[in-house]
Amino acid sequence: MSPIHPVAARGFARSPDAYERARPGYPPAAADYLAAQLGLGPGPTVLDLAAGTGKLTRLLLATGADVIAVEPVAQMRAALPEAARVLEGTAEAIPLADGACDAATVAQAFHWFDGDAALREIHRVVRPGGQLALVWNRRRMEDPLHRAIEDLIAPHRGDAPAHGSAEWRRAFSRTSLFGPLEEREFANEQELDAEGLADRVGSTSFIAALEPPERDEVLDAVRALAGDGAVRVRYVTEVQVCPRLGTARSGARSRSAEHRSTSDLRAPVP
């Protein structure tokens, strides 16, 4: 399996419970739009890549589709729903045979990938005529609460990639494997108390990766932003869909990928 960014490996391994409790889900209108664009329902197979704790996986299952959830971090995989076929793997080395699925989704994760390698692999496992969808909960940075949180966490980001940098888009601008991203936006929000807000920020990879004294200092400051009441945390949910191009598959699978695709069709959840 290809290595993942050390901040993602360390931070997400430490924070699966906080991630599941405090990360926002996706609004019904966004879920309905995604299902319609991908043609989901009973019958199709959809790959949820870098599935995390299953925030999107559960919505995909609700459509009646067969869902394969691929996630590299064991602690995250353990939280994934049993109704999905759960596999260990990365975007750059997907443990599936060529043309194994009708569509693929990536929620909150494409910025962590080697974009060029990931698009080649996604193209390989998605059947001709299929689609790829990216889903994001983008913080509304015009909101004073988000600006205050950013001031607290930005000094700790280091080299962790960010959705907001748009660096990840470069792979889409130069690929011939997928068409242009078609984007729709939906309003989304949470209401959190001080502990919920601390969990939300504490689930951020590079904050979760900090050692306790430094992490606790950041989270105490986050709790102070909420005070004794509840705060409304606003997001924009972005759904970006692009078609898989071409009829031929993008290269033969490797011997190791072929072995994984036959021996790990129903990998146990740790």
Q: How many domains does the chain have?
A: 1
Over 80: is that where the pLDDT of 174 sits? yes
Decide if 13 is inside a domain: yes
Provide the residue type at 58 as one letter: R
Q: Do the domain assignments include residue 250?
A: yes
**Residue ranges in the chain assigned as alpha helix (H):** 6-14, 16-22, 28-38, 55-62, 74-77, 115-125, 144-153, 169-174, 194-202, 205-208, 212-226, 255-263
What is the per-residue pLDDT for 248?
59
The 3-state DSSP class for residue 93 equals strand
C-alpha 218/C-alpha 129 separation (Å) is: 47
Q: Is residue 213 part of a domain?
A: no
pLDDT of residue 258: 35
CATH number for position 35: 3.40.50.150
Does residue 32 belong to any structural domain of this protein? Answer: yes
Return the residue matching tokens 């102070």.
Answer: 224
CA distance 97 to 252: 9
pLDDT, one tens digit per residue, over 29-82 is 999 999 999 999 999 999 999 999 999 999 999 999 999 999 999 999 999 999
Question: Which residues have a Cβ under 8 Å from the Cβ of 98 and sit 6 or more positions away?
Answer: 124, 125, 249, 252, 253
- β-strand partners of 235: 139, 188
Average pLDDT of the segment spanning 210-222 = 97
CA atoms within 13 A on the CB side of 9: 8
**Is the pLDDT at 269 greater than 60, yes or no?**
no
> 20 is in which domain, residue-wise?
6-136+163-188+237-260
Residue 148 is assigned to a structural domain of this protein: no
For 75-119, what is each residue's pLDDT tens digit?
A: 999 999 999 999 999 999 999 999 999 999 999 999 999 999 999
Confidence of residue 259 (pLDDT cuts 50, 70, 90): very low
Question: Does some domain include residue 38?
Answer: yes
Q: How far apart are CA 82 and CA 165, in angstroms?
A: 34
Give DSSP secondary structure letters for 194-257: HHHHHHHHHTSHHHHTS-HHHHHHHHHHHHHHHTTS-EEEEEEEEEEEEEBP-SS-SSPPPHHH
Q: How many CA atoms lie within 13 A of 236 on its CB side?
A: 13
- What distances in angstroms separate CA 244 from CA 10, 51, 118, 264, one per listed residue? 33, 20, 13, 25
- pLDDT surpasses 70 at 267: no
Domain for residue 226, yes or no?
no
The answer to whether position 219 is within a domain reads: no
